[in-house]
């Protein structure tokens, strides 16, 4: 009998089986969670510490194998036990490949269930997360994913700063995940229960920013009929995320400097200092050093802000993260738009990894979202935006092909990418339509 109650998630579209398994497991003193679909199951996995997954393999909508694959990738520490009514060599092989550790064939006895559960639980790795050189799954905050050395480095810093109040400065191109990293720091650390407040310094008119940040005293200006708190007071004990810090005016910068130095704030229109206890995380996608040179950013504030610096590398410098991110977005948007996990062809994935992503992860996410909506069964190269299609290189052995053959293949590829639009294809190939027609012949 287990000493601590372990949490078991049972997934089956058949509620009778769900209840049957639940009754047996409760009799064995396990905590149980039930889900009738993969979608529900994911919701539970994200919110509860699950020790074992028991899932049916044949379900309508998203099938159990997909869930097994998802769990293997996102919660590698959770053992998986498959329940199936139709055992077949093929199914068994597929399931094993996706990471299922054991099988239960319907109908099964209470004893068989008990043995399989105990065997699976015994297989759990001792250390639940952060395996060698691979995907880091933060057990508390699993949104931020990556396996490249660059991202592992970022995650390492997050781990070091999450439980203290050192000021953190996040620098990176647009769409690289600066805000997500700020959230990861807050929500995985010990101040997670306190507020996380994000302020976009670029979106608030300069004249209002001080009052918004620090609050104001009654009578500070016309219309200030009462004392009002600002973002700093609201974030007390937690984290204030100052996004686009480069947009703060010189006056606001001076006030911020005082806050960071003295850990106290003064409301607009008041002379009384108030103690505050807030971790500040600032972010920018502009070069602050350049602003300092032009006299638009205070150097002393810069050094106060950059006690700990996180440089988020652009996606093109960590392409090994692309397949992982693609998988995440395929799952997210597949479930949202198609009620199943959408697959992607090797060719399309290759095109995604070849592209340089100037808009970084946000652009990648948008492209996948759109492709999921547009595709039929799986994402093909034709579902990707045009500028991505032309990133396809020739396979290596093509260097041994004749020029004529290469020309032919290239024309065919451009035609495919333009959906056979000869005008567009001719434009890309920089030949006239007649020449193209001749070549096609």
Ligand X SMILES: Nc1ncnc2c1ncn2[C@@H]1O[C@H](COP(=O)(O)OP(=O)(O)OP(=O)(O)O)[C@@H](O)[C@H]1O
- Residues near ligand X (CB under 6 A) are 143-146, 172, 174-180, 285, 325, 328, 361-362, 365
Q: Does 343 bind Mg ion (CB under 5 A)?
A: no
In the complex, least distance from residue 249 CB atom to ligand X, rounded to whole angstroms: 20
137/312 with CB nearer Mg ion:
312
12/150 with CB nearer ligand X:
150
179/380 with CB nearer Mg ion:
179
Measured CA to CA, the distance from residue 136 to residue 75 in angstroms comes to 10
Nearest to ligand X by Cβ — which residue? 177
Q: Which residues of 37-59 are buried (b: 16+ CB within 10 A; e: fewer)?
A: bbeebbebbeeeebbbbbbbbeb
Distances (CA, A) of 216 to 81, 196, 221, 253, 255: 59, 21, 9, 17, 13
CB 78 within 8 A of CB 51: yes
CB 112 within 8 A of CB 104: yes
**Helices vs. strands in the chain: H and E counts, helices first:** 19, 14
Give phi and psi for 141, each to the nearest 5: -125, 95
- Residue 144 interacts with which of ligand X, Mg ion, none, CB < 5 to 8 Å by class: ligand X
In the complex, least distance from residue 107 CB atom to ligand X, rounded to whole angstroms: 42
CB 259 within 8 A of CB 265: yes
**Residue 201: partners with Cβ closer than 8 Å, 6 or more residues away:** 209, 242, 243, 244, 245, 246, 247, 248, 252
In the complex, least distance from residue 74 CB atom to ligand X, rounded to whole angstroms: 11
Which window, 112-120, 178-186, 331-339, 340-348, contacts Mg ion (CB under 5 A)? Answer: 178-186
- Residue 318 interacts with which of ligand X, Mg ion, none, CB < 5 to 8 Å by class: none
Which window, 177-185, 215-223, 233-241, 406-414, contacts Mg ion (CB under 5 A)? Answer: 177-185
- Residue 177 interacts with which of Mg ion, ligand X, none, CB < 5 to 8 Å by class: ligand X
In the complex, least distance from residue 345 CB atom to ligand X, rounded to whole angstroms: 22
42/81 with CB nearer ligand X:
42
23/160 with CB nearer ligand X:
160
Q: Does 179 bind Mg ion (CB under 5 A)?
A: yes
Measured CA to CA, the distance from residue 45 to residue 50 in angstroms comes to 6
Nearest to Mg ion by Cβ — which residue? 179
CB 17 within 8 A of CB 56: yes
246 closest CA partner among 214, 211, 294: 294
In the complex, least distance from residue 360 CB atom to ligand X, rounded to whole angstroms: 7
33/329 with CB nearer ligand X:
329
Residues forming the site for Mg ion (CB under 5 A): 179
């Amino acid at each position: 009998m287990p000493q601590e109650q372990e949490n078991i998630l049972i997934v089956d579209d058949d509620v009778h089986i769900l209840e049957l398994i639940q009754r047996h497991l409760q009799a064995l003193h396990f905590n149980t969670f039930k889900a009738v679909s993969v979608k529900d199951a994911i919701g539970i996995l994200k919110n509860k510490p699950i020790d074992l997954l028991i899932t049916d393999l044949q379900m309508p909508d998203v099938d159990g194998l997909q869930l097994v694959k998802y769990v293997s990738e996102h919660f590698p520490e959770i053992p998986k036990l498959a329940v199936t009514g139709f055992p077949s060599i093929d199914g068994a092989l597929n399931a094993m490949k996706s990471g299922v550790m054991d099988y239960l064939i319907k109908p099964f006895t209470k004893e068989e269930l008990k043995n399989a559960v105990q065997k699976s639980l015994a297989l759990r790795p001792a250390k639940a997360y952060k395996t060698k050189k691979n995907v880091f799954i933060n057990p508390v905050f699993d949104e931020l994913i990556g396996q490249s050395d660059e991202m592992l480095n970022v995650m390492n810093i997050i781990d070091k700063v999450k439980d203290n109040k050192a000021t953190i400065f996040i620098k990176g191109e647009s769409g690289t995940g600066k805000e997500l990293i700020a959230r990861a720091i807050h929500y995985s650390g010990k101040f997670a229960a306190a507020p996380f407040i994000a302020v976009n310094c670029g979106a608030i008119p300069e004249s209002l920013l001080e009052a918004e940040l620090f609050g104001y005293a009654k009578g500070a200006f016309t219309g200030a009929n009462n004392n009002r708190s600002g973002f700093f007071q609201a974030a007390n004990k937690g984290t204030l995320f100052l996004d686009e810090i480069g947009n703060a005016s010189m006056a606001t910068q001076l006030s911020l400097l005082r806050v960071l130095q003295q850990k106290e704030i003064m409301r607009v229109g008041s002379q009384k200092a108030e103690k505050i206890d807030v971790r500040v995380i600032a972010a920018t996608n502009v070069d602050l050093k350049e602003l300092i040179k032009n006299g638009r950013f205070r150097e002393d504030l810069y050094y106060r802000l950059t006690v700990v610096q996180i440089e988020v590398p652009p996606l093109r410098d960590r392409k090994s993260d692309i397949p992982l991110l693609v998988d995440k977005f395929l799952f997210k948007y597949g479930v949202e738009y198609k009620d199943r996990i959408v697959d992607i062809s090797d060719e399309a994935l290759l095109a995604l990894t070849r592209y340089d992503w100037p808009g970084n992860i946000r652009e990648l996410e948008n492209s996948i979202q759109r492709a999921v909506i547009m595709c039929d069964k799986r994402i093909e190269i034709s579902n990707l935006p045009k500028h991505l299609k032309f990133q396809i290189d020739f396979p290596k052995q093509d260097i041994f092909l004749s020029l004529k053959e290469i020309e032919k293949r290239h024309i065919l590829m451009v035609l495919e990418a333009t959906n056979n639009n000869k005008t567009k294809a001719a434009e890309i190939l920089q030949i006239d339509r007649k020449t193209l027609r001749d070549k096609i012949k």
